[in-house]
Each structure stands twice: as structure tokens, then as C-alpha cells.
Amino acid sequence: MDDLREKWLAAVAGAGDEAALEAVRVAALGKKGEISAQMRELGRMTPEERKEAGPRLNALKDEINAAIAAKKTALADAALEERLRTEWLDVTLPARPQRMGTVHPIAQVTEEVTAIFADLGFSVAEGPQVESDWHNFDALNIPGHHPARAEMDTFYMARPEGDTRPPHVLRTHTSPVQIRSMEAAGAPLRVICPGRVYRADYDQTHTPMFHQVEGLAIDRDISMANLKWVLEEFVKAFFEVDAVELRFRASHFPFTEPSAEVDIRCSWQGGTLKVGEGDDWLEILGSGMVHPKVLAAGNIDPAAWQGFAFGMGIDRIAMLKYGIPDLRAFFESDLRWLRHYGFASLDVPTLHRGLSR
Ligand code: DAH
């Protein structure tokens, strides 16, 4: 009995992992194990022998079971210790900065403009870049013979031979989204429509594709005063200054009556633009009261509703705000340019945190 005890306790102690320990358990206490065989021997003993050997054998069985359980816990603890030791990592190390690309100035400025007008209660509307001749021109009171059509340097889409309908165009401005918004939502209405527009033109300040944002507000008693206030709020917020002065110059657009071009007071002293002070004027947009024919084209009753509209070049205000000299570089995908003028990808412009910070 003592030999048995010594042999199996040593085997338990010597088991190096859970599999070895299980093999020891089976060899000692399993159905065909050595100690189980001894238990069966009890049946062949005399009552006196059994009285003596039975309790001792049971005690041995319990002792080995307990030793196995203790060893099992010890092995698991050791395995955990080993994992903790080898999988250790230093969470106090500084993170490695990873370049995630930058936000293009056009995307940044579009976000800025959207944040400002959203705060004034305007929602964002979009329209197709391949636009019908009617939406791009006629509905905006630019009939076929109108000189504005010729001035727009329009790109026309192809029509199959024999198809005499007017061809679609690459929209020359975002103004057709005014019509689509009126058709879709009716009055009252407050939207801005940022997006790409196209004209056949190319020099330092013109590219064949560029960006505009249209604004449209329609209600029962909207006036030029509302337009002026909204634009002042916009310019102050966009150029991040406390005060601005706007100048409304009488102008002409087919889709507004009256029409005005809007300049802001600025200075170019030292070669950098300062908005709100100085003796220069900077033209930033066209605007006016929506022409009754345009309201009617959008299925809105001009006797009951009126509104203001404006259209602004996003690329142009981006160049002004961020001091970018050449428009063409915007679309050349030069990585050095993008890294220099781009914005951090996780810095979403908001009014409360600052637009361009
Ligand atoms: N659509 C004009 C252009 O592309 C800009 C414009 C002027 C839009 C006056 C307007 C507006 O909505 O009222 O040059």
C-alpha cells in the first residue's frame, strides 16, 4: 500500500501538463487502473482482511484524487502566468502616428458652408450633373435665344442621329437644383445646393469642372433684407471675423429680379487678404429675388410666395480663405499640394469648435 502511494503521488507530481496528468489518472484510478484493480481484489478477501484493507485503499484513492485536483490547478495557474508573461505589452508607449490622407480644401469648404447654413435652418439638396436643357436653362428663364446661354460655354451631351430633342448638358451652374428642389418640396423652402458644375474654360482662375453652392429661401414675405442678413451672417462665420461690410451692386441675372452682385470690404495689404477692413472690394456671389417665372417653373404660385436666391463659387471662396493662388492645382492630384493645403481627416468643421481649426 505504501509503495502504491509513493508511486502514484510521484507520478502526479511529475506530470508536466494536463494531458500527462490525465494519463496518470487513468492509469491509477480509471476502470483498468492499478488502484481500481486493487479495489476489486477486496471482494476476494476475508471479512477481517477487508475491514483492514478497505478503508486504507479508499483513503489512498481519495488522497490521489486530491493530489490530481491540486496539480490540475497548479498547472492552470502556471499556464496563465506564462501567458501573462509572454503576452505583456506596454500600454504607456506613445501611438505611432498614421497618415490617413487629408481632406481636400473643396471638401473642407463645402463642409464649412454646409455647417453655417445648416445653423441658419437650410437643408442640403443635390441634383444631377448631367442635366436637362430645360432645368439648366428654360426653367431658369434663359430661353433659347438668350445671350446667357452663349456665355456659359456649355458642354452638350450627344444625342443619337435623328433625335431632335434638345441635348442634355453638363450643368453650367447649380441653379437647376433650385427648380428640382421646388418641384420636390414646394413652398416654404430653405435649401443650399453644393456641387460640381462644368464650363469649357481654362486659365489660372477657371477649370472646366468647378464647384458652386446655390442658396434658395422661399416663404410668404421674404425680402432683400432677409438676403442681406443671411449673407452677412454667412460671410462673418465663413471668414471667421466679427464684423463685415457687404456692398450690393445692381446686376442682371435672368432668374432673379431684382438682381445684385455682392462684394465684401477687404484689404490686400502685405499680399494677404483681410476681410472686414480696408479699401478694397471683393466680389463673392450673385443673388437676387427669385423671378416669378422661375417660381412658376418650379410649380410654386408666384402670387402667394416669394424668395431670394444666390450662387457662389466654392473654389473661389476656398482660394480666398486659405490663400491658394492657382485654381488648376486643385484638380491635379499632386500629393505635395494635397498634403500642404489638405485638412486633417478627423477635424470636421463645426460652428462651436471653430470652422477651420
Ligand atoms: N447661376 C449663376 C452663375 O452660375 C450664379 C447665380 C446668380 C445664382 C444669381 C443665383 C442667383 O441663384 O440668384 O453664374
245: domain CATH number is 3.30.930.10
163: left (phi over 0), alpha (psi -120 to 50) or beta: beta
Query: Residue 271 burial by CB count (10 A; 0-12/13-18/19+): exposed, middle or buried?
Result: exposed
The minimum-distance atom of ligand 1 relative to the CA of 255 is 13
pLDDT of residue 204: 82
Q: Is the pLDDT of residue 254 over 90?
A: yes
Task: For residue 192, tell me if it sits in a domain.
Answer: yes
Do 81 and 106 belong to one domain? Answer: no
The DSSP result for 190-257, as a single string, is EEEEEEEEE-S--BTTB-SEEEEEEEEEEETT--HHHHHHHHHHHHHHHHT-S---EEEEEE--TTEE
Task: Tell the residue nearest (CA) to atom 5 of ligand 1.
Answer: 311
% of the chain beyond a pLDDT of 90: 69
| Alpha carbon of 175 to ligand 1 centroid (Å) | 6
pLDDT of residue 357: 64
Query: By the 8 A CB rule, do 177 and 126 touch?
Result: yes
Residue to probe by mutation, ligand 1, list 192, 249, 287, 314, most atoms within 8 Å of CB = 287
Residue to probe by mutation, ligand 1, list 255, 257, 283, most atoms within 8 Å of CB = 255
The DSSP result for 31-75, as a single string, is TT-HHHHHHHHGGGS-HHHHHHHHHHHHHHHHHHHHHHHHHHHHH
d(CA 54, CA 264): 107
Nearest of 140, 286, 274, 148 to residue 213 by alpha carbon: 286
Task: Count up the domains in the chain and report the number.
Answer: 2
| Alpha carbon of 20 to ligand 1 centroid (Å) | 84
Reported as a single tens digit per residue, the pLDDT across 289-298 is 999 999 999 9
Task: For residue 274, tell me if it sits in a domain.
Answer: yes
Which residue range forms the structural domain that includes residue 45?
2-86
Do 172 and 31 belong to one domain? Answer: no
| Alpha carbon of 261 to ligand 1 centroid (Å) | 9
The minimum-distance atom of ligand 1 relative to the CA of 178 is 12
| Alpha carbon of 214 to ligand 1 centroid (Å) | 7
Q: Is the pLDDT of residue 81 over 70?
A: yes
% of the chain beyond a pLDDT of 70: 99
Query: Where is the domain boundary, 54, 86, 118?
Result: 86
Task: For residue 352, tell me if it sits in a domain.
Answer: no
Do 299 and 218 belong to one domain? Answer: yes
| Alpha carbon of 177 to ligand 1 centroid (Å) | 11
Q: Is the pLDDT of residue 203 over 70?
A: yes
Residue to probe by mutation, ligand 1, list 136, 153, 175, 228, most atoms within 8 Å of CB = 175
Confidence of residue 1 (pLDDT cuts 50, 70, 90): confident
Task: Tell the residue nearest (CA) to atom 3 of ligand 1.
Answer: 173
Query: By the 8 A CB rule, do 179 and 135 touch?
Result: yes
Do 178 and 75 belong to one domain? Answer: no
State the first-to-last Cα distance of the chain, in angstroms, to the nearest integer. Answer: 84
Nearest of 116, 111, 105, 112 to residue 343 by alpha carbon: 105
Do 168 and 273 belong to one domain? Answer: yes
The minimum-distance atom of ligand 1 relative to the CA of 287 is 13
| Alpha carbon of 343 to ligand 1 centroid (Å) | 29
Do 150 and 284 belong to one domain? Answer: yes
Name residue 209's beta-bridge partners. Answer: 198
Reported as a single tens digit per residue, the pLDDT across 99-141 is 778 899 999 999 999 999 999 999 999 999 999 999 999 999 9
| Alpha carbon of 330 to ligand 1 centroid (Å) | 22
Which pTM value belongs to this model?
0.73
Contacts of 77 (CB under 8 A, 6+ apart): none
pLDDT of residue 262: 96
The minimum-distance atom of ligand 1 relative to the CA of 212 is 4
| Alpha carbon of 179 to ligand 1 centroid (Å) | 13
* 18 marked as part of a ligand binding site: no
Distance of CA 242 to the CA centre of its chain: 29
Do 127 and 74 belong to one domain? Answer: no
Do 122 and 215 belong to one domain? Answer: yes
| Three-state secondary structure call for residue 112 | helix
Query: By the 8 A CB rule, do 282 and 320 touch?
Result: yes
Distance of CA 140 to the CA centre of its chain: 33
| Three-state secondary structure call for residue 241 | coil
Query: By the 8 A CB rule, do 262 and 283 touch?
Result: yes
Task: For residue 93, tell me if it sits in a domain.
Answer: no
Query: By the 8 A CB rule, do 294 and 141 touch?
Result: yes
The minimum-distance atom of ligand 1 relative to the CA of 175 is 1
Residues lining ligand 1, Cβ inside 6 A? 173, 175, 214, 253, 256, 286-288, 309-311
d(CA 117, CA 174): 16
The minimum-distance atom of ligand 1 relative to the CA of 197 is 4
Do 146 and 262 belong to one domain? Answer: yes
On the question of a cis peptide bond just before residue 258, with omega within 30 degrees of 0, the verdict is yes
Average pLDDT over residues 188-203: 96
Q: Is the pLDDT of residue 286 over 80?
A: yes
In one-letter notation, the amino acid at residue 51 is K
Name residue 194's beta-bridge partners. Answer: 213
